């Protein structure tokens, strides 16, 4: 069974690293493709080094562009790879433009497609990621889900149950493998922080950062929270550009830094008092770590992080500040381990592929 795995952006690496490792461990022929959607060293290259991933066999080198142009360029470049290599199965993860672009090519070339982290829905089609999820799922042969709500979403959309496999969360596989090392490195020390004495912020969703008005409102709330606790803010390149364009200051108790390597960020997240984010994956990681999380969005495609985990949605200044106060007062729910988030999801994925041969 010749398997071709594709990554493109930072979240893909954590999801696909354990799957690639398991494929290679079992001796299947494998080709590893990087689309180059994320090309900055801290957003891409360092993940191969820290996660022990093999260097890509093919790097398409696409880089940044508009949604349509980036997706189209990935499709054109990947079509050549697909026609040359003729894999039996193509694996993609998550919901970025690379995911949907590769799914379209796989479907038109008649190659079986496996989608890692399938079935998640925010029910908000203003999010580009939601469109990518829907397109990829409806073109997939194997739909690998992380939680029960994903199975329910796919059933509601008419996808046959025999295509859907609840396997757990590959991002948690990666986290559980590396968290001990990440914490032992004590990344907070180099930043002058103490364990439990800071909050961690990430912000990159277009709905939060692409409008000066929306970004200003979020940062007003962040400055208010920073009066209670120092906030470390690794800034996504697009977010940094928007802050500069809008002339928005972070505030004296909000420390901006460049995007962090995976292990440094994981160590900081594991020992943060709490996390503020609009990321999807960080909602899952904080739940796995038992760290309180305030998600700065009106919706989440990962409802299990709210029902079982440590996550809560908060968008208004009042909700954000009240959540921070509740956490600092020690009244936040501790959460519980989500079923199958046990570090073995990647093995279950390869099991499914082997049974289908």
For 20-26, the CB contacts below 8 A with 24+ separation are 20/53, 20/54, 21/52, 21/53, 21/346, 22/346, 22/347, 22/349, 22/350, 23/350, 24/54, 26/350, 26/354
At 292-350, the pLDDT tens digits run 999 999 999 999 999 999 999 999 999 999 999 999 999 999 999 999 999 999 999 99
Beta strand 293-295 with 311-313: parallel, antiparallel or unpaired?
parallel
The predicted-structure confidence for 179-236, as pLDDT tens digits, reads as follows 999 999 999 999 999 999 999 999 999 899 999 999 999 999 999 999 999 999 999 9
Catalytic residue among 115, 204, 236, 308: 204
Average pLDDT over residues 40-69: 79
Dihedral angle, C-alpha 188, 189, 194, 198, nearest 10 °: -30
Which domains are delineated in the chain?
Answer: 3-168+341-355 (3.40.50.2000), 182-328 (3.40.50.2000)
Query: Residue 204 catalytic?
Result: yes
Residue 323's closest CA among 296, 284, 286? 296
Of 45-54, 153-162, 267-276, least confident by mean pLDDT is: 45-54
Condensed to tens digits (0 to 9), the pLDDT of residues 100-140 reads: 999 999 999 999 999 999 999 999 999 999 999 999 999 99
How high does pLDDT run on average in the chain? 94
Residue 54 confidence class, pLDDT cut points 50, 70, 90:
confident
What is the arithmetic mean of pLDDT over 91-102?
Answer: 96
How many Cβ atoms sit within 10 Å of the Cβ of residue 77? 20
Helix (H, G, I), strand (E, B) or coil at 3: strand
Higher pLDDT, residue 187 or 49: 187
């Amino acid at each position: 069974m010749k398997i071709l795995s594709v990554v493109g952006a930072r979240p893909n690496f954590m999801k696909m690293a354990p799957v690639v490792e398991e494929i290679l461990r079992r001796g299947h022929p494998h080709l590893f493709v990087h689309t180059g959607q994320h090309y900055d060293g801290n957003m891409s290259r360092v993940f191969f080094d820290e996660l022990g991933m093999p260097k890509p066999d093919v790097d398409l080198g696409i880089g940044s562009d508009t949604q349509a142009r980036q997706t189209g360029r990935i499709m054109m470049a990947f079509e050549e790879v697909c026609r040359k290599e003729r894999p039996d199965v193509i694996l993609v993860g998550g919901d970025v433009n690379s995911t949907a672009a590769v799914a379209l090519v796989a479907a038109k070339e008649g190659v079986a497609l496996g989608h890692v982290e399938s079935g998640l829905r925010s029910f908000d089609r203003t999010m580009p990621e939601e469109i990518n999820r829907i397109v990829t799922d409806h073109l997939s042969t194997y739909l690998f889900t992380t939680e029960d709500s994903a199975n329910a979403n796919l059933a509601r959309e008419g996808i046959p149950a025999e295509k859907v496999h609840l396997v757990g969360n590959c991002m948690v596989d990666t986290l559980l493998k590396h968290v001990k090392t990440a914490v032992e490195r004590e990344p907070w020390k180099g930043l002058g922080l103490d364990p439990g004495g800071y909050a961690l912020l990430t912000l990159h969703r277009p709905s939060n950062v692409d409008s000066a008005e929306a970004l200003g409102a979020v940062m007003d709330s962040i400055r208010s929270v920073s009066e209670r606790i120092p906030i470390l803010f690794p800034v996504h390149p697009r977010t940094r550009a928007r802050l500069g364009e809008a002339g928005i200051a972070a505030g004296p108790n909000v420390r901006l830094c460049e995007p962090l390597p995976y292990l440094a960020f994981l160590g900081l997240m594991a020992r943060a008092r709490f996390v503020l984010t609009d990321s999807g994956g960080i909602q899952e990681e904080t739940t796995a770590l038992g760290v309180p999380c305030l998600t700065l969005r009106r919706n989440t495609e990962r409802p299990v992080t709210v029902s079982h985990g440590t996550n809560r949605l908060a968008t208004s200044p009042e909700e954000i500040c009240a959540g921070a106060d509740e956490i600092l007062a020690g009244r936040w729910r501790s959460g519980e381990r989500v079923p199958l988030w046990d570090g073995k999801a990647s093995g279950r994925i390869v099991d499914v592929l082997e049974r289908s041969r």
